[in-house]
């Protein structure tokens, strides 16, 4: 193995594969701007290198694959001119799109916490490996953000209304859930990951067979027993309708989910609903990223995101004061303004 970097992402070649190992264990490998840029640079280099036949994305140590992005930086930037936040989003979304369109097979090992930005670098991969440690979520509505990094593409393509449920509630899935929903392609015991990586490095032309050989039967997926309820209670694209359906149901599960939604930003729940509805109708991932960048450019500077980060990450009082405080106060015009396309010279663009 030939290491090329010892920073927040370890970049190396191992046999016939390129390796990207996230290396910020104290931050559960949350992505920062230098990590995104380093991964882009490595992927572009390997794209034209015939000796690299596949790419592995994993983490170096610790309990998570990737807990998200540099949320505190985004909020601090949003409270000022937002320029640093926009640059981060622009770069991160280019990484997401590069992985989505990458010509060589990518294997993402989602061993441990896989949230936000971690979803954005694992879901574009052809092979997505879950384990007994996988904890997958898009929890952004709890901090006044929205499920970005391609969430508007992946979530509406899940079974029924599961994507809407995940986007609004921030519910956590385990590895078995991920496999059942297609968020993961294989389920391996964590003790087999080192062997999987070694074998893939030696035989990148046999990735599917290697993962299939080492895979085990996953435990029963709890999410499958909830899909009927999710489809019924989260059927609407209108947030007030979903809240009313949960309230009218009266069951224990509905009450729990209603309580969860009452802690979320009403603004970003409405943003997420529209994002998933429009994303589900798009035919081009780049168009999705263009839209998410426009949304992100605005939301990152709005009250609810700055307040959500204060309440959940900085002060940790877990009592955000959302404004507007109710779904009814958030008009269609309000949401239209968040979704309006950016001027041509400010739009997100993929790598040329």
Is 177 designated active site? no
Q: Do the domain assignments include residue 351?
A: no
As a whole number of angstroms, the distance between CA 188 and CA 217 comes to 8
Q: Do the domain assignments include residue 35?
A: yes
Is 163 designated active site? no
Instruction: Write out the residue range of the structural domain in which residue 209 sits.
Output: 2-346
Using a pLDDT cut of 70, give the percent of the chain over it. 98
Q: Are 99 and 106 in contact (CB under 8 A)?
A: yes
Q: What is the pLDDT of residues 19-72, one digit of tens each?
A: 999 999 999 999 999 999 999 999 999 999 999 999 999 999 878 999 999 899
Q: What is the pLDDT of residues 87-143, one digit of tens each?
A: 999 999 999 999 999 999 999 999 999 999 999 999 999 999 999 999 999 999 999
Assign 1 a pLDDT band (cuts: 50, 70, 90).
Answer: low
Q: Do the domain assignments include residue 16?
A: yes
Is 228 designated active site? no
Q: Do the domain assignments include residue 77?
A: yes
Among residues 70, 111, 140, 174, which one is catalytic? 140
Among residues 92, 148, 174, 307, which one is catalytic? 148
Is 140 designated active site? yes
Q: Do the domain assignments include residue 38?
A: yes
Task: Output the pLDDT for position 63.
Answer: 81
Among residues 68, 117, 142, 170, which one is catalytic? 117
Q: What is the pLDDT of residues 244-272, one digit of tens each?
A: 999 999 899 999 999 999 999 999 999 99
pTM of the predicted model as reported, rounded to 2 decimal places: 0.96
Per-residue pLDDT, averaged over 321-349, amounts to 97
Q: Do the domain assignments include residue 203?
A: yes
Per-residue pLDDT, averaged over 203-229, amounts to 98
Q: Do the domain assignments include residue 198?
A: yes
What phi-psi label fits residue 200: left (phi over 0), alpha (psi between -120 and 50 degrees) or beta? Answer: alpha
As a whole number of angstroms, the distance between CA 53 and CA 205 comes to 8
Per-residue pLDDT, averaged over 229-239, amounts to 98
Among residues 69, 112, 120, 144, which one is catalytic? 69
Per-residue pLDDT, averaged over 207-216, amounts to 98
Q: Is the predicted pLDDT of residue 162 greater than 80, yes or no?
A: yes
Report how many domains make up the chain. Answer: 1
Task: Output the pLDDT for position 3.
Answer: 47
Per-residue pLDDT, averaged over 278-301, amounts to 98
Q: Is the predicted pLDDT of residue 6 greater than 80, yes or no?
A: no
Task: Output the pLDDT for position 352.
Answer: 85
Give me the CATH number covering residue 90.
Answer: 3.90.226.10
């Amino acid at each position: 193995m030939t290491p090329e970097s010892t920073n927040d992402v370890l970049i190396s070649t191992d046999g016939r594969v390129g390796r990207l190992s996230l290396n910020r264990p104290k931050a559960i490998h949350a992505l920062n701007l230098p990590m995104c840029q380093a991964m882009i640079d490595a992927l572009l280099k390997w794209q034209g290198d015939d000796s690299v036949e596949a790419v592995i994305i994993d983490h170096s140590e610790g309990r998570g694959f990737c807990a998200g992005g540099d949320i505190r930086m985004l909020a601090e930037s949003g409270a000022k001119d937002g320029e640093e936040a926009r640059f981060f989003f622009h770069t991160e979304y280019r990484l997401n799109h590069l992985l989505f369109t990458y010509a060589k097979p990518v294997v993402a090992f989602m061993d441990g916490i896989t949230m936000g930005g971690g979803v954005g670098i694992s879901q574009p991969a052809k092979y997505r490996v879950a384990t007994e440690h996988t904890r997958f979520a898009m929890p952004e509505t709890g901090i006044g953000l929205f499920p970005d990094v391609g969430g508007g593409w992946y979530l509406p393509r899940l079974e029924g209304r599961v994507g809407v449920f995940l986007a609004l509630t921030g519910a956590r899935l385990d590895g078995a859930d991920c496999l059942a929903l297609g968020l993961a392609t294989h389920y391996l015991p964590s003790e087999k990951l080192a062997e999987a990586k070694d074998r893939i490095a030696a035989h990148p032309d046999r990735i599917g067979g290697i993962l299939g050989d080492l895979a085990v039967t996953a435990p029963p997926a709890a999410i499958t027993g909830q899909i009927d309820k999710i489809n019924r209670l989260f059927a609407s694209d209108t947030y007030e309708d979903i809240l009313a359906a949960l309230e009218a149901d009266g069951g224990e599960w509905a009450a729990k989910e209603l309580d969860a939604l009452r802690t979320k930003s009403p603004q970003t729940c409405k943003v997420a609903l529209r994002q998933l509805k429009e994303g589900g109708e798009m035919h081009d991932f780049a168009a999705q990223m263009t839209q998410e960048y426009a949304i992100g450019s605005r939301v990152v500077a709005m009250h609810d995101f700055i307040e959500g980060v204060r309440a959940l990450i900085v002060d940790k009082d877990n009592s955000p004061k959302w404004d507007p405080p109710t779904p009814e106060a958030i008009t269609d015009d309000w949401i239209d303004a968040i979704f309006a396309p950016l001027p041509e010279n400010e739009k997100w663009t993929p790598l040329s």
